[in-house]
Homo-oligomer: A and B are copies of this chain.
Amino acid sequence: MSAQSSLAGSPVVAEVDFAAKGRQAGHLRVPQSRDDSGWGTIPVPIVVVANGSGPTMLLTAGNHGDEYEGQVALLDLARTLKPEQVQGRVIIIPAMHYPACAAGKRLSPLDGRDFNRCFPGDPFGGFALSLAHYIDSVLLPLCDYQQDLHSGGTGMDIVASTAGHVLDDAGLQAKTLAMADAFNAPVTMLLREVNAGPTLLAQAEARGVVALSSELGGGGRLNPANLAITRRGVANLLRHAGILDGKPEITTPSRRMTVPDLAHYVFAPCDGIWEAADILGSSVEAGAPAGLLHRIEDPTGPAIPLSYAATGLLWCVRHAGRVKVGDPVAVIARDL
């Protein structure tokens, strides 16, 4: 345990030595006091593979616990990546918001927190804020690249995409787009930085790391096609950065798109069961029917028809049949 390192300001302790070469597996040990274990910790698995010289890439999944493609792709990578394959350093955290991952839930069963709204964190603010603070203040400064692997979760199904922000820094923007091109998801989603919220992606950008988020499926399940895209995308990123040998495998170039405003969302005006008119990935037109909202409280009244207010790709659809007022049931993307 001599590899354990503690950093001023954080109570999180790593069982791996980020400066060492070779392959290490251990945990980030995050304090979590319980009534029956005042000094309890939650160990978050981490794998570091380092060799020779080259950049550092932080690969994370399980930011939300019910998004599975990234978790499985990184578990595979953690099992198989060998130091001799690597030039540089790969830090892999396959199940980052560990209590949410163990529960298969988006939000933490400890306190209901959304980990991706916890940055830059607080060292003594509880598990999620404490871990976010460690990742921001200890890990991100070590990194050249960061990829945070999301999917749509239990509620939404999304066309497999990487996701980045429109950035003021043209240089960082170009590197981000090159990274997204290398990942080669079907869609590259670019969103305005404004109102990004306190996410890991925004924090990585603020620290000058070339960084992407992603949406690689959803519906609360592990989709085999999206898992394949994710595995290849991760390998492509490592090749793109020069950490692995070889060139990224590119199939069809990724389609660069955006969701410009709230008019590209369809929201449920009341609770009900959503019957979509179109399947994920369809081309849809403003004014066309988006689907019907069926209300169980009124079986003799009509179902409520909703329409699209924008034209484009049906990029995201409601997966779960039951919706609550205010839930998005469709999100449309347009080409940049």
A positions within 8 Å CB-CB of B: 1-2, 4, 6, 8-11, 13, 25, 29, 32-43, 45, 47, 62, 64-66, 68, 71-72, 74-75, 78-79, 92, 94-95, 98, 101-107, 111-112, 114, 117, 123-124, 152-156, 194-195, 197-198, 219-222, 224, 227, 261-263, 267, 270-271, 273-276, 279, 294-303, 309, 319-328, 331
Contact = CB atoms under 8 A, between A and B. Distances in A.
Given A34-B155, A156-B39, A296-B98, A322 B66 contact: yes
A323 B37 CA distance: 8
Copies assembled:
6
Contacts of A309: 1
Contacts of A299: 25, 45, 47, 74-75, 78-79, 92, 94-95
A261 B14 CA distance: 12
A112 B114 contact: no
A6 to B, nearest CB: 7
A107 B33 contact: yes
B68 A321 contact: yes
Given A41-B267, A71-B294, 4 more contacts: A35-B154, A35-B155, A102-B297, A219-B219
Contacts of A194: 6, 8
8 contacts: A6-B194, A29-B262, A42-B326, A71-B294, A75-B296, A102-B297, A219-B220, A220-B319
Nearest to A292: B72
B294 A10 contact: no
Contacts of A98: 296
A224 B72 CA distance: 29
Nearest to A77: B299
A41 B327 contact: yes
Given A38-B156, A220-B220, A299-B79, A195 B9 contact: yes
A224 B32 CA distance: 29
Nearest to A6: B195
A33 B64 CA distance: 11
A248 B34 CA distance: 36
Nearest to A125: B117
A320 B29 contact: no
B263 A2 contact: yes
